[in-house]
Amino acid sequence: MTRERNERFARLCRRACEIYEAEGRPHGRQDVHWLLAIQQIDAEDKAAEEAPGSPIADAILSRAVQAMEHIATESTEQSEKADRRLLTGYKVRSSRR
C-alpha cells in the first residue's frame, strides 16, 4: 500500500471506532460503522479540497458533525432502519461503478 492509502485506512479505522463508541458499542454493526466512516472521511476530504472557510466546505463539515451527533442519540430501532437505508444505498451506488 502507498503511504496515502495507509493514512486513509488508519483514518477510517479511527472513525469507525469513534462511531462504534458513540453508539454504545453495539454488536453486529461493524459494516455500518465502516460505511459511515467512509462517507464521513470522503466528506471531510471533499471539504478540504474547497477553500478553507468557504460556505461549501463549512456545509460539508457541518453535515458530517450532525451525522455523528445523530448517531450518538439514535435509538436502536432507528439505527436498524438507517442501517438498511445506508446499506441499500451503498449497494446501489456500488453496482453503478
pLDDT tens-digit series, residues 6-15: 999 999 999 9
What burial class does residue 3 get, using C-beta atoms within 10 Å of its C-beta: 0-12 exposed, 13-18 middle, 19+ buried?
Answer: exposed
Element (H, E) at 70: helix 55-73
Q: Is 26 left (phi over 0), alpha (psi -120 to 50) or beta?
A: beta
pTM, full prediction: 0.59
CB 36 within 8 A of CB 14: no
Angle between helices 55-73 and 30-49 (to 10 degrees): 160
User: Which tens digit of pLDDT belongs to each residue from 35-72?
Assistant: 889 988 988 888 777 766 677 767 766 777 777 666 65
